[in-house]
Structure 1
Amino acid sequence: MIKPCIKSGLIVACLLCYAVSFAQEPVFSYVEEARGITQQFQQTLKQELQAAIKTGGLKKAVDVCSLRAPEIAEKMAGETGWTIGRTSLKTRHQNNRPTAQEKAVLDEFVSRKSAGEDLAEMEWWQQQGTSIMYMKAIPMQGLCLSCHGITVETSLKNHIKELYPRDTAMGFKIGEIRGAFSLQKYIELANGQIVK
């Protein structure tokens, strides 16, 4: 037989767990939304880069990355209400330098990778007052090595330096963290709770 005080404690604990779970549901719906947007952005950019390489080589791919990536992000932001960007500890474009919060998350990603976590699944999110912030790690892949790897062909390197005089985004190896997608959205609150 369960004593009344223990029984009451168990009921309260169950109710608290339910309340926490219920409160998290709207947050997770935003996270799912951010995951889908990130995947769409990544696929769209990759397709455009592959097409550029086929038609004009790596220099054209660099131009596409320079011009089209911000345009794709801006278009998707207008459609979804999320701010969408990319950042890294080693940036190519100075506008993509991480904020203090983004740098902390990138450093956390490095630690998590060192502990053996799969980069392809690595993500982070947090509700910050009236906004949701989401970040997803970008693993270094083969397609990116020509422009971001240890050995970058001289004329291509010169072309990159013309577009990005303060570029630091070279010297990567496959499987390292290239950077992260960083998304943020302002959310609707009602009585302090997220409305979704």
Structure 2
Amino acid sequence: MRPFLLATLLVSTAAQATAPWQDEAAAQIPPFAEHLLGTVRQAVTDGGPIAAVQACQALAPQIASEHSHQAWQLGRTSLKVRNPDNTPDAWERSVLERFAEAAIAGTPVKELRYGEEVDGEYRYMQAIAVGEPCMACHGTAIKAEVQEAIDQYYPHDQARSYQIGELRGAFTLTRPLAQETQ
């Protein structure tokens, strides 16, 4: 019984050690997400879904860079990427696959998040659910002219045919742990 108790305490201690990083990581996402969504909404208002495709292609990487700073690197990834620069690495793919399994099993996508220490970094991912604003460019009924624009800007696009509420991808954050002592 003692080994079980020791293992439980070690797991609890490890979870407590990463909890501050998880909270800090989670706090980085709302401003980033709001900036991205605000940019897309403004583009739709100014020029429709085609303008949103153009804005995503031109501005999304810049927005991610603006929200990344010395401590945190932010980005987005998916099992079905639109931009090949957002292709998941092995760790991200593993987490996304677990998110997909959990979503299929009934866990609400908005509740899916995971963080851990990996190779001297704290890595965190939080799932992104497909919402109504996403459907014009990621849904099942994409207008022909929008499909043409997507094909022009993203010739290797895989990010179509989603339903509202499905797992679109995830925000992905990385923080070097060496900064913890600074």
Gaps of 5+ in 1: 1-9
**Number of residue-to-residue matches in the alignment:** 182
Distance in 2 (alpha carbons) for counterparts of 1:146 and 1:162: 16
TM-score by length of 2: 0.89
Say if 2:66 is the partner of 1:66: no
Counterpart of 1:75 in structure 2 is: 66
Task: Select between 14-23 and 24-33 the one with higher mean Cα deviation.
Answer: 14-23
Distance 2:2 2:79 in 1: 47
> Which one of 22, 33, 36 corresponds to residue 31 of structure 1?
22
Query: Aligned partners of 2:41 and 2:17: how far apart in 1?
Result: 37
2:129 aligns with 139
Does 2:110 align with 1:120?
yes
The unaligned stretches of length 5 or more in structure 2 are none
CA shift at 1:25, angstroms?
Answer: 3.5
Q: In structure 1, what is the Cα distance between the partners aligned to 2:3 and 2:159?
A: 52
Per-residue CA deviation, residues 39-92 of structure 1 (Å, 9 max, x unaligned), is 2111111111111111111111111111211111111112x5212111111110
| Whole-angstrom distance in 1 between the partners of 2:7 and 2:129 | 38
Relative to structure 1, the CA distance from residue 16 to residue 173 in structure 2 (aligned partners, 3 Å threshold; closer, same or farther) is closer
SS of equivalent to 1:71: helix
TM-score using structure 1 length: 0.83
Partner amino acid for 2:178? Answer: E
Q: Which residue is 1:5 aligned to? A: none
- 2:39 matched residue in structure 1: 48
Which of 79, 86, 109 matches 1:89? Answer: 79
Q: Look up the match of 1:181.
A: 171
The CA distance in 2 between the partners of 1:124 and 1:16, in whole Å, is 21
